[in-house]
Every structure is written in structure tokens, then in C-alpha cells.
Amino acid sequence: MYDYLVVGSGLYGAIFAHEAKEHGKSVLVVDKRPNIAGNIYTENIEGINVHKYGAHIFHTNSKKVWDYITQFAEFNRFTNSPVANYKGELYSLPFNMYTFNKMWGVVTPEEAAAKIEEQRKEIIGEPQNLEEQAISLVGRDIYEKLIKGYTEKQWGRDCKELPAFIIKRLPVRLTFDNNYFNALYQGIPVGGYTKMVENLLKGIEVRLNIDYLEKKQELEAMAEKVIYTGPIDAYFDYKLGTLEYRSVRFETELLDMPNFQGNAAVNYTDRETPWTRIIEHKWFEFGKDEYGNDLPKTIISREYSSEWKPGDEPYYPVNDEKNSKLYAEYKKLADADKKVIFGGRLGEYKYYDMDQVILMALDSAEANIK
């Protein structure tokens, strides 16, 4: 018998497992994948730590989170400064003075603010959809070139059909600051995220290639409590219906050249380019190996957004009204199950940044580890 069975070795599961072990509890972690670390899994290929399930850039304003996670990894000083490619025109993201200068030729913050203000007036009254919401925030030009195509690829729907609340705000900076997240603490773990999760799980029994849902009764009987980080609807065998997600498909290539695009992330914001962005993994660690040598090759991943179907990897919950109502019904079932704690992005059907996951896992551990 174990005190805790943790289903999933991603960030939430690994932190909960670590905290339980620190409290002297016996823990078993199971994961259906052949590797630990969930979606933050990185694999070292040709000296490059490849983000196998999409780019993960750690950022937080919480000193508590930063102090906690830096016990398990040294972080480099990577700053996320993506570039937007609109039909061969390159723009800075977030929207800043470089963006406005390229878009309109303006030079001063005052000119940029006036241009945005003039274009925002197009929307009168409460925005009725995502298109109107975006124009009301940043104007028609930025919307057409840098938001519309990218968003429609991301969600697989016309911006006029998407709810306004998806874009609550857009970062408009009247400065030349290219730091996308603008967080107090930011970086990438030196040596990759997998190494960081290994450190979290040190001394804990981990069994891989085990699908918990296929052996649910047998595994559940082995522990006093279960921490479940998989999809909540799958846990209940989809008996109330299936929650919707967006998924992402990656095409990854090893290229025999030192530099493909000169930046870690380039977003393709026109509708015609089928991928949403290209990640060049080496630039997360400044194009150098662990000894500081320049890497002669590079690895890129093209990302394609797609509608999720069973068997695909669920990435982004579709938090519209219909899905939110269905999740609320599943949550009632989850709350009634006193043996199982549901946590993380899939267990709570909500998109979370990594720092939010860490805080939630720590809060859950504090509340539940007796």
C-alpha cells in the first residue's frame, strides 16, 4: 500500500509527489507515456534540448514560485521576444514601438497612441465577437496583420464566430521593450525541463507506460489517496459527454545549418501559411551546448493547430459556455469522490501557465497531505 498514487508525471504530479515524499509519505507515480515530465518533456538531440510538446518558457511574478522551482534547476536568462511574420513582413511581438514604426512609420509614443486611438473608434458600443474586441483594443491594421489569421488558425474558426472574452486585453507598449511576458522572473532550466522533473521525482517510485484508466481498480486499490492529472471526462468514462480541446501537431526537423530563423519563436500571422509558428529550439539556450560551444546544427518544429479528437493530445480547453457547463457537471462528480484529487490543466479543464500549476500543486499538497 502507498499513501499516494499520483497519475501523471507532469509538473503538477511531480510537485505533489515531491511534497508528499518530503512529508514522509509513500508515493507511486504512474504515467502512460514512456517518459516523465508530461508536456514539459525535453529531449536532448544533437546537444539541443528539444521541447517535444511545444515551447515552454517559464515566467512568473511570484517570488514564492521562483524560490521553490529553482531548488530543482538552475534557470538561464532567456527572455521571450517572438517575431511575427506576416507574408514576409517581420514585426515585433508584443506590440511595441518597433511594431508601430514598421506598421505606420510613426516615431514617437504620442504618434503611435494617436494612430491606435483613431482606429479603435471603428467599434461603437460593446464588442460582440473577437474581431470587434481586438479592433476596439488595438485598431484595424494590427488586427488584420497580426491577430486575425493567427487566431483563426489557432481556434479553427472565423474571428467573428469567436466570443469577445477570449481576448480580454492585448499588450500594447509605447516603449521599445521586446520582453513578451514582462515578468520579474523568466528563463529556461539549464539542461532542459526533463532534468528538472527528474530532480523533483528523486527517490520516488515511477512506473512508465502504464495507462491508469485501463487498470483503474487495481491501481486505486494500492493507495489511500489518488492524485489524478489526466482529463476529467476520461476519468468518468465520458458518461456525461466529451469536453472539447484544441490540439497541436508538430513537424520537427533536424537541419544541417547553424541558424534557420535567428529567433526561438516566429509566429506566422497570415491565414494562408498552414502552421501557426516555427520554434527553433537551440535559441532557448542561446545556440550553445552545455559547455558554451556553438552548436553546428539546428532543430525546428512547425506547429499546426487542430480540432481535438480522441487519441490526440489535448492542449487547450475550449472554455466556451457549452463546455464550461459540461465541466461544471463533471466537477460535481469529482467533488463527490473523496478518494481522488483532480489537479492540473486536464484535471481542472483550464489552461494554466506553469507558475500557476506550481502554486496549485503546492496549495493542494498543503491542504491534503496529512
Catalytic residues: 169, 173, 246, 277, 303, 351, 353
Residue type, 352: Y
Count the helices and strands in the chain (H runs, E runs).
13, 16
The alpha helices in 29-94, defined as continuous H runs, are 63-69
Beta carbons of 66 and 354 less than 8 angstroms apart:
no
CA–CA distance, 309 with 325 (Å, rounded to integer): 20
CA–CA distance, 94 with 78 (Å, rounded to integer): 16
Nearest to 166 by CA among 140, 193, 128, 139: 128
In the chain the beta strands, taken as DSSP E runs, fall at 2-7, 27-30, 42-45, 48-51, 58-60, 83-86, 89-92, 185-187, 205-207, 223-228, 245-255, 265-268, 277-280, 298-307, 316-317, 340-342
**Triad 60, 65, 71: Cα angle to 5°:** 120
Q: Write the DSSP symbol of residue 299.
A: E
Nearest to 59 by CA among 37, 84, 81: 81
Torsion of CA 173, 261, 78, 39, to 10 degrees: 100
Omega prior to 231 cis, within 30 of 0:
no
With 0-12 / 13-18 / 19 or more C-beta atoms within 10 angstroms meaning exposed / middle / buried, residue 12 is buried
CA–CA distance, 75 with 14 (Å, rounded to integer): 18
| Residue whose grid cell is 480547453 | 317
